[in-house]
Amino acid sequence: MVNDGSRVRVLVEGLAEPVIVLDSERRLVAASPPAASMLGDPVPGRRVGEEVGGALVLFVDALPELSAYQELRAGFTAAVSHELRTPLARLLVLLETAALPGAEVEELLEQAQQEVQQARDLIDDVLFLGELETGREVVTLGRTRALPIARETVAAFADRAAHAEVSLEVSGGEEVELPLRPRMLRVVMENLIANAIRYAGQGTTCTVELAEGALTVSDDGIGVRASDLPRLFERFYRADTARSSRGTGLGLAIVKHVVTSAGGTVEARGAPGHGLEIVCRFRAQ
């Protein structure tokens, strides 16, 4: 627990993001430079109302060790930078190749577009995960009938699944409801289905199963080693069989964040040659 005001100020004032630290009575303890500009009058001790939209507000009473936060933030930034370098490096090579005499320009430009999309997908996932972690996305808002969302999501992935030679199936009762608002439920299903299409392999089947309090997405594909299972939900982690994939490496991390934010749990089960099953469970309401 951090309770040393001067130490908090030193740590926070070194952040490049808009971060504001308040005490339990909403008096200002510290503000990063971008947040100080937003406040206009960043004098410690002044009361701060609700005029700080766009800044991450932390309270001293519930503040984690800021040095750990900085370490996590630095690690995440480094990981994002590393992941972005790959599509950007490939894009540069493609553009340089397209400038050579006799180059297949149309084919190279198509590949370049794919690399741009890869970078765009990564940026979108990073921003969305950031929204989740700063509380800007409301995960739970009532209950949602799951089967219509599942059918819509499977239909949206039909072409991609057909191209990958993966069959998609949905099972579950019309009455099944899950404690996620529609957009969040769709995000979870999209990421789980996309993961199966990307990694299961040709000639496999991905099944979305719905039950009261549970969502399961499984496939009968190449599977995952037991040593990889606990790490599948880490940001940017890829098992050896997935390292050549164009995925952003954030899909399952987003799934875990949404499910746990709704008070649920997520578990991966499987083995090489026996497919992968990911089960999201939610507490009874």
Same-domain status, 174 and 269: yes
Amino acid 152: pLDDT: 92
Same-domain status, 101 and 191: no
3-state secondary structure the chain: CCCCHHHHHHHHCCCCCCEEEECCCCEEEEECHHHHHHHCCCCCCCECCCCCCCCEEEEHHHCCCHHHHHHHHHHHHHHHHHHHHHHHHHHHHHHHHHCCCCCCHHHHHHHHHHHHHHHHHHHHHHHHHHHHHCCCCCCCCCCEEHHHHHHHHHHHCHHHHHHCCEEEEEECCCCCEECCCHHHHHHHHHHHHHHHHHHCCCCEEEEEEEECCEEEEEECCCCCCCCCHHHCCCCCCCCHHHCCCCCCCCHHHHHHHHHHHCCCEEEEEECCCCCEEEEEECCCC
Mean pLDDT, 10 residues at a time, the chain of 285 residues: 54 72 79 82 77 67 51 52 66 79 82 75 66 58 86 92 94 90 86 92 94 94 87 70 54 85 88 92 79
Same-domain status, 267 and 150: yes
pLDDT single digits (tens) 127-141:
666 666 555 555 666
pLDDT single digits (tens) 157-175:
999 999 999 999 999 999 9
Same-domain status, 264 and 205: yes
What is the span of the domain harbouring residue 240?
A: 144-281
Amino acid 38: pLDDT: 81
Same-domain status, 97 and 209: no
Residue 138 covered by a domain = no
Domain boundary residue, one of 133, 156, 182:
133
Amino acid 244: pLDDT: 44
Amino acid 220: pLDDT: 93
Same-domain status, 21 and 58: yes
Please report, for the domain that includes residue 84, its CATH number: 1.10.287.130
Same-domain status, 122 and 91: yes
**Gap between the Cα atoms of 1 and 19, Å rounded:** 18
Residue type, 37: S
Same-domain status, 218 and 165: yes
Same-domain status, 78 and 103: yes
Domain boundary residue, one of 87, 108, 133:
133
Residue 153 covered by a domain = yes
Residue 139 covered by a domain = no
Same-domain status, 87 and 209: no
Domain count, the chain: 3
Same-domain status, 151 and 270: yes
